[in-house]
């Protein structure tokens, strides 16, 4: 599996003689070992792959990593690289997670090598294998159970942080390794901020409560949002049904070779017809996998096409400053002729 991924990567290298990766997720994807400490993966075009890591990761890496592992001691990464960056290595690609400090140090220490950004690994990572989709599905199942637990805990007078606690406890019990982002429980006017986390605010009658959460399972992420209406709220109920329509418009268009911007615009158009477009403050969705936000970005500016077996979220929202907000988020996998929605949870909850 990992040898095959490295092969695919080498096919994408084009003008680069070697690649350097620093993020734990990239390294894990290509080697099977997810480092917990600073590490560097060196992938030359036609020589041995080497993973440099700290002593703290070494014993675990030796069990799980299929490639050559080198422990970096006091001498540091640059000294280790000196052995590998031989004369025939002229151009090295680095991905976005390499820190600026490390990047400028490499440029200084290896003046004859040109270092440049390489984004080609996302062509590989953004298309998921059946095994990856299976892990994402399981992660979604856990998040769905967490969301149900959250909804069940909601009543007038309960604090947002208590609702989040119920959700997270349920997800942990079901095997969540961690949470890819902070659970959001945003009630009433707090819902108007798309990334409100949660507070000690007590839920009131008439609140729309935005719950956005995810789990990590076998390294793979989930990300689901539902909005719960507590009692009645005509304004928020109208916004919610419109957001669901906008989401369905985009979901029904998902298939190979549709562009990301077309999906975004399809949802935006539904909101526009009712004059709600100005309340939709972010792009429609994002790829999801080992990272909760990864390519493709489903936005009006991304003209790239989606491809078969890409997995991404569709999450339109309406945010009225000082009033409240609603959002609905599901995950979809692209199949040849249509999209398959992986989230099973109902779109609306009333308590």
Q: Which residues bind Mn ion (CB under 5 A)?
A: 223, 313
Q: Quote the CA–CA distance of 180 and 196 in Å, as a whole number.
A: 15
Strand partners, 311: 333
Please say whether the beta carbons of 228 and 351 come within 8 A.
Answer: yes
Closer CB to Mn ion, 223 or 294, in the complex: 223
At closest approach, how far in Å is the CB of 115 from Mn ion? 32
Strand partners, 68: 50
At closest approach, how far in Å is the CB of 330 from Mn ion? 10
Residue indicated by tokens 């890591």: 53
Closer CB to Mn ion, 31 or 334, in the complex: 334
At closest approach, how far in Å is the CB of 165 from Mn ion? 21
Angle at 77 between CA 72 and CA 83, to 5 degrees: 95
Closer CB to Mn ion, 121 or 328, in the complex: 328
Closer CB to Mn ion, 93 or 285, in the complex: 285
At closest approach, how far in Å is the CB of 226 from Mn ion? 12
Q: Quote the CA–CA distance of 168 and 142 in Å, as a whole number.
A: 10
Closer CB to Mn ion, 183 or 313, in the complex: 313
Alpha helices in the chain (DSSP H): 2-11, 24-31, 55-64, 76-84, 100-109, 121-125, 130-153, 160-173, 234-251, 260-273
At closest approach, how far in Å is the CB of 129 from Mn ion? 22
Residue nearest Mn ion (C-beta atom): 223
Q: Quote the CA–CA distance of 47 and 84 in Å, as a whole number.
A: 10
């Amino acid at each position: 599996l990992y040898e095959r991924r490295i092969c695919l990567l080498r096919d994408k290298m084009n003008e680069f003689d070697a690649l350097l990766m620093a993020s734990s997720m990239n390294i894990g994807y290509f080697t099977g070992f997810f480092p917990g400490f600073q590490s560097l993966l060196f992938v030359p075009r036609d020589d041995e792959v080497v993973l440099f890591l700290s002593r703290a990761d070494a014993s675990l890496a030796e069990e799980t990593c299929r490639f050559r592992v080198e422990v970096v001691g006091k001498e540091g990464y640059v000294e280790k690289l000196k052995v590998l960056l031989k004369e025939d290595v002229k151009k090295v690609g680095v991905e976005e997670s390499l820190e600026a400090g490390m990047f400028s140090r490499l440029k200084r220490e290896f003046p004859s090598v040109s270092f440049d950004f390489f984004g080609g690994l996302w062509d590989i990572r953004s298309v998921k294998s059946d095994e990856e989709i299976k892990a994402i599905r399981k992660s979604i199942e856990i998040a769905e159970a967490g969301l149900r637990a959250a909804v069940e805990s909601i009543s007038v007078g309960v604090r947002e942080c208590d609702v989040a606690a119920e959700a997270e406890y349920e997800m942990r019990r079901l095997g969540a390794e961690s949470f890819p982002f902070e659970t959001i429980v945003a009630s009433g006017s707090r819902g108007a901020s798309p990334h409100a986390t949660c507070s000690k605010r007590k839920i009131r009658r008439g609140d729309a409560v935005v719950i956005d959460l995810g789990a990590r399972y076998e390294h793979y992420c989930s990300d689901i949002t539902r909005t719960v209406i507590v009692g009645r709220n005509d304004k928020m109920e109208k916004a919610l049904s419109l957001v669901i329509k906008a989401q369905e418009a985009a979901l029904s268009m998902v298939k190979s070779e549709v562009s990301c911007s077309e999906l975004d615009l399809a949802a935006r158009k539904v909101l526009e017809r009712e004059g709600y477009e100005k309340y939709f403050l972010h792009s429609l969705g994002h790829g999801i996998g080992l990272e909760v936000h990864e390519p493709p970005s489903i936005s009006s500016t991304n003209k790239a096409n989606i491809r078969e077996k890409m997995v991404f979220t569709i999450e339109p929202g309406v945010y009225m400053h000082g009033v409240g907000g609603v959002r609905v988020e599901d995950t979809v996998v692209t199949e040849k002729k249509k999209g398959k929605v992986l989230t099973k949870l109902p779109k609306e909850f009333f308590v």
